[in-house]
A and B are shown apart, each in its own frame.
Chain A
Amino acid sequence: MRHANSRQLSRRSALRMAGFATVALAVPLATPGIVRAQNAARLVIIGGGFGGATAARYARINHPALAVTLIEPRTRFITCPYGNLVLSGMRVPDQITHGYDGLRTRGVSIVHDMAAGIDPVAKTVRLAGGQTVAYDRLIVSPGIAIKWGALEGYDEAASQLVPHAWIPGDGSQLALLRRQLEAMPDGGTVGFALPANPFRCPPGPYERISMVASYLKKHKPRSKILALDAKEAFSKQGLFLDGWKALYGDMVEWVPSNKDGKVVRVDAAEKTFVTEFGTRHKVDVANVVPPQSAARIAFDFWLTDQSGWVPVNPATFEAKAAPGIYVVGDANNGAPMPKSGYIASNTSKHAVACAVASLRNEAPPEGVYFNTCYSHVGDEYGISVVGVYRATDKGIVEVPNSGGVSPRGNLPEQRRLEALYADAWYGSITKDMFS
C-alpha cells in the first residue's frame, strides 16, 4: 500500500532526523542559531493555526512566567472557516487572513520556519533552517495533510486543474476554485467529490456546496451542482437538505454512496469523476475534498498510528507515543469531537493548562471540551452544531442530553440569527487566536 510505504520511509527519515538532532545538541549553547529564552520554563508550539495560535496566546495570558515560542513557516494565516464565503462573494480573502503581530506584542517569540525534527529525549526541535529550539514542554498543532493518490488520479499536479481548496496555504487553491466558477458559463455543472469520514470540518463540504449555490443563483442561475459522496450521511444533513430546497430549488443534487455516489477515480484533465460502479460524470468545474491524514510532520515524528491520525490521552492531549508532547487540533484522533477550528482552539487551552500542571508536578486539570460550528446555507441563513465533551476512562464522550444541531422546520428568524451569530463567532474566535 502506498500509504504504508510512505510511512516506513518517514520512519527512516525520522531516525535520520533524530541523529541530526543529537549531533546538533553536542554544541548547543555555543551555536548562535539556538533560539531560546534564558532562565524561563520554555513552552514551544509547532503550528500557528487555530490550535497553535490560541495555545500561544493563552500561555502568555494565563502563565506570563512561561517563555513561549511559536514555530510557523507562514507569516500570514488564512482560515479554512469562511473560505467558502469567498466562493459566494460574501467575503474577500483579506477578510480571512491574519498575521502574528498581536501574539508578538504579547511576548510570544515567533519563528517563521518549518519544524523538521523533534528529539524527545534532548527536548529539542530542529528547524528546516538549521536552528535548534529547546523546550520543556511541546505542543504540536500541525493540521492535516492530503493523502495524494489515495483517490486514484488525484495527486498534487491534478489539484492545479481540479482544486481541493481544503488546506488554505497561500490561498492559491481557493483563488483557483473561485476563478473557475467565474469562468464557467451559465448552465454548467459544478461537481464535488466528497470523502469518507474522518476529515477536517465535517459540515465544510456542505457549506461549500451552499455557498457555490448562492454564487450560481446570483450569477449563473441555470447551472447545476452534482455532489458525489463517499458517505451515506453527513453533518447537519437534514438542515442542509432543507436549506438547499428552500433557497436553491433543485439546483443541488446530492448522491450518497449507496446510490453510486462514491468517486473512485478522478480524470483531472477531462474534469471527470468515475464512481464505484463505473458511472462517468463530466462536469465543468470540479472540486475534490480529498482523503486526509494528520500533517506530514506528525508521521515524521512517529506520533501517528495506522489510522493516519495521532492517538492522544483524552484527559491531556499528550501523544500516546510521546508523553510530554501535546498534540491538538485536526491531527489528533479526538473522535467523537469533530475536526473543527473551535475544537482545536478550545482543546489547546486545555493542553496549555496540562503542560503547565506537568511542569509543576501537579495532576492535570479536569477538562471540558466545547465545540460550536456554524455553517452558512445562504446569505442570511445559518445553522449550527454544538457539542460539549469530557474525558472519561472510555475516552472522550459527548455529555448526554446536550449539544446537537439547530431545530428543523420553517424557522426563518432562527436562521437569520444564526447567520449573524456565525459572523460574530468568526470575529470572536480569530481575536481569541491572534489579538
Chain B
Amino acid sequence: MSLAAFATGARAAEPVPLAAQGCVGCHGVRGTGSGAIPGIAGRPAMEIAATMNAFRANERAGTIMGRIARGYSEAEIAAIAAHYATSR
C-alpha cells in the first residue's frame, strides 16, 4: 500500500482499543495469561465487565486490580471486555 493509499484508503483491521492495550503488560500475549496472572482472553464480555466494575466500585477485594479499575470509565471497561471476549 502506498503512502497516498494509506492516507486515503479504508482502515486496516480494526486496532485493539487503546484502553485494552494496557492490560497485556501483565495479562500475557493477547490476554492469554502469564504465570500467576490469570488470562482474560476468551472470557464472556459480561463476566470481564462485571469483574472490572466490581473492582472499580470497591465491591470486590483485589491485590492490585481495584487500584487499576478505578482509573477507567465504564465505556472503556465495556470496550476492554468486548475485545478480550473475542481474543484467543
Interface on A for B, CB 8 Å cutoff?
A: 39-42, 58, 62-66, 136, 342, 345-346, 349-350, 353, 359-361, 365-370, 372, 384, 386-388, 399, 401-404, 406, 414, 417-418, 420-421, 423-425, 427-429, 431-432, 435
Is the CB of B54 closer than 8 A to any CB of chain A?
Answer: no
A399 contacts B29, C-beta separation under 8 Å: no
Instruction: Determine the distance from Cα of A388 to Cα of B22 in the docked complex, in whole angstroms.
Output: 10
Q: Is the CB of B67 within 8 A of A421?
A: no
Alpha-carbon gap, A350 to B11, bound state (A)? 17
B28 located at the interface, meaning its Cβ lies under 8 Å from any Cβ of chain A in the complex: yes
7 cross-chain pairs, A with B, having the tightest CB-CB distances, nearest first? A388-B71, A424-B35, A402-B71, A370-B22, A420-B36, A428-B34, A402-B70
Provided the pairs A353-B18, A368-B76, A402-B68 are in contact, do residues A414 and B3 lie with their beta carbons within 8 angstroms?
no
Q: Is the CB–CB distance between A346 and B34 below 8 Å?
A: no
Q: A360-B6, A399-B70, A435-B29 are in contact. Are A65 and B36 (CB under 8 A)?
A: no
- Asked if B64 contacts A384 (CB within 8 A), the reply is yes
Residues of chain A within 8 A (CB-CB) of B63 are 406, 414, 417-418, 421
Considering the complex, which residues of chain B in the window 40-69 have a beta carbon less than 8 Å from any beta carbon of chain A? Answer: 63-64, 67-69
Interchain CA distance A176-B34 in the complex, whole Å: 32
List chain B residues, Cβ under 8 A from A402.
Answer: 67-72
Select which of B8, B19, B24 is within 8 A of A428 by beta carbon.
B24
Min CB distance, B1 to chain A, in Å? 4
List residues of chain A with CB within 8 A of the CB of B6. Answer: 40-41, 65-66, 359-360
Contact (Cβ within 8 A) B25 A425: yes
| In the bound complex, CA of A360 to CA of B35 (Å) | 39
Q: Are A62 and B15 in contact (CB under 8 A)?
A: yes
Partner of B12, one of A64, A342, A423: A64
A425 near B26 with CB under 8 A, answer: yes
Q: Are B29 and A429 in contact (CB under 8 A)?
A: no
- With contact pairs A360-B7, A427-B35, A432-B24 given, residues A403 and B67 touching in the complex (Cβ less than 8 Å): yes
Task: List residues of chain A with CB within 8 A of the CB of B19.
Answer: 368
Q: Give B70 Cβ to nearest chain A Cβ, in Å.
A: 4
Given the complex, which residues of B lie within 8 Å of A366, measured CB to CB?
A: 18
Evaluate contact between B25 and A428: CB separation under 8 angstroms.
Answer: yes
Assess the B13–A368 pair: CB atoms within 8 A.
Answer: no
Bound complex: CA A360 to CA B34 (Å) = 35
Q: Which residues of B contact A425 (CB under 8 A)?
A: 25-26, 34, 37
Q: Could you jot down 13 A-B contacts, CB within 8 Å?
A: A41-B3, A62-B13, A350-B18, A360-B7, A368-B18, A368-B22, A370-B22, A370-B25, A370-B68, A387-B71, A424-B37, A425-B34, A432-B29
Complex contact A421–B36 (CB within 8 A): yes
CB distance from A262 to the nearest CB of B (A): 32
A66 to B13, CA, bound (A): 12
Cα(A346)–Cα(B22), bound, Å: 6
Instruction: Decide yes or no: A417 and B3 within 8 Å by CB, A384-B64, A406-B64, A429-B26 being known contacts.
Output: no
Report yes or no: A58 in contact with B13, Cβ–Cβ below 8 A.
no
Please, which residues of chain B bring their CB within 8 A of the CB of A58?
21
Which residues of B lie under 8 Å from residue A40 when comparing CB positions? 1-3, 6
> In the bound complex, what is the Cα–Cα distance between A418 and B3 (angstroms)?
46
